[in-house]
Amino acid sequence: MTKFQGYFGTYTKGDSEGIYSFTLDAANGKISDVRAAASLENPTYLAISEDNRFLYAVAKEGASGGVAGFTISSSGALSWINSELSPGASPCHVSVNSENSLLLSANYHKGSADSYLLDRESGRIESVLSSAVHEGSGPDERQEKAHTHYAGFTPDGNYVAVVDLGIDQLITYSLDNGQLIEQSVLHIAPGSGPRHLVFHPNNEIAYLMTEFSSEVLVLKYNSQDGSFQQVQAVSTLPAEFTENNQGSAIHISSNGKFVYAANRGHDSIAIFKVEPESFLLTFVEHTSTEGNWPRDFVLDPSENYLIATNQNSSNAALYSRDAETGKLTLLQSDVKVPDPVCVKFLHY
């Protein structure tokens, strides 16, 4: 396959209409056909079901927020299914596990993680099954209360890992018929502001991105009890960089050889090599995102390319990726996307 279908989630405070679709021509290394695919307020994060039948998005409607679902046609077009909203701010992250028919959301403003039951056939989102609300604070001025930033399933499907930026914690929940039951807590260094998490394909190691301290933390995962143990912390910034920076997205190659982490402020992607026996990280280099405030990025299904989204400059950049060195080479930086946040591909 030489063409891959993808989607951008955006903020709709400016010119954006909602969710945008695009095509990556993997034979020629070019992004094209960026167009509005669904009208929705602030669909800042997206998740696509493993069978590519459904797309789920963070959603906002007036004074309420929640999640919305769409069917994905063979052409990539989106058709509205339904939304599940509640009073207050919308979530900032959403993930899906079709196998157990569950959708998860993380709500930064409410400091909560929510689970929703999905109808396996229609993709319809049912009402909230469970809501885990965090309490506490941290030393940073933005840590005046809990700020949940990520909720995702562990690779074994037995637990939900929830990252809370406001209280510097990674909290693991077990699932009992969709109910979130606290299982384990990893306390991160105060003021670090943990944000997002990815697992190594060996399912025994995870990499956690911090927003305030701009670090990647290497964690050992215990599938027996869902606990994590930190074994390394490595900066995503050059030592001489002293300006404002906020860490954002983190992703890993499917073979587990390279970890990529984005810096907002330094406006770069930090590339790390995963050491084959220890799974610790060794810095490779920084690559400019060719824009302002890279909120997210993604490896394409072939992993020969990487796409970064720059929120404040309303552009996406495309790079070719060297599978042996992990390094990126700029191909395209003028892809116009209004206020882009999240970028996802269909599963191939």
270 found inside a domain: yes
174 found inside a domain: no
Q: In the predicted model, what is the mean pLDDT of residues 187-202?
A: 98
Residues in CB range of 258: below 8 A, 6 or more apart = 252, 271, 272, 273, 274, 284, 326
Q: Round the average pLDDT of the chain to a whole number and report it.
A: 97
203 found inside a domain: no
Percent of the chain past pLDDT 70, that is, above it, reads 100
296 found inside a domain: yes
Output the domain CATH number for residue 289.
Answer: 2.130.10.10
Q: Is 149 exposed, middle or buried (0-12, 13-18, 19+ CB in 10 A)?
A: buried
Q: In the predicted model, what is the mean pLDDT of residues 197-206?
A: 98
Residue with tokens 């190594």: 200
pTM of the model: 0.97
Q: In the predicted model, what is the mean pLDDT of residues 76-96?
A: 97
Write down the pLDDT at residue 95.
Answer: 98
Write down the pLDDT at residue 177.
Answer: 85
303 found inside a domain: yes
Write down the pLDDT at residue 329.
Answer: 98
Confidence of residue 98 (pLDDT cuts 50, 70, 90): confident
Q: How many domains does the chain have?
A: 1
Write down the pLDDT at residue 178.
Answer: 85
Write down the pLDDT at residue 99.
Answer: 81
Neighbour tally for 327: CB within 10 Å = 15
Segment 128-133 long-range contacts (CB within 8 Å, at least 24 positions apart): 128/84, 128/86, 129/102, 129/177, 129/178, 129/179, 130/178, 130/179, 130/180, 131/180, 132/162, 132/171, 132/173, 132/180, 132/182
Per residue in 294-307, pLDDT tens? 999 999 999 999 99
264 found inside a domain: yes
Contact assessment for residue 91 and residue 115, using Cβ atoms and an 8 Å cutoff: no
Write down the pLDDT at residue 69.
Answer: 98
Q: Output DSSP code: residue 41.
A: B
Residue with tokens 């900066």: 235
3-state SS class at 98: helix
Write down the pLDDT at residue 85.
Answer: 96
Q: What gap in Å lies between CA 348 and CA 132, rounded to an integer? A: 33
Confidence of residue 100 (pLDDT cuts 50, 70, 90): confident
**Residue 2: which domain range?**
1-37+245-348
* Residues constituting the chain: 348
Per residue in 123-155, pLDDT tens? 999 989 999 999 999 999 999 999 999 999 999
21 found inside a domain: yes
Write down the pLDDT at residue 335.
Answer: 98
Write down the pLDDT at residue 3.
Answer: 96
142 found inside a domain: no
CB-based burial, 79-94: b 16+ in 10 Å, e otherwise: eebebbbeeebbbbbb
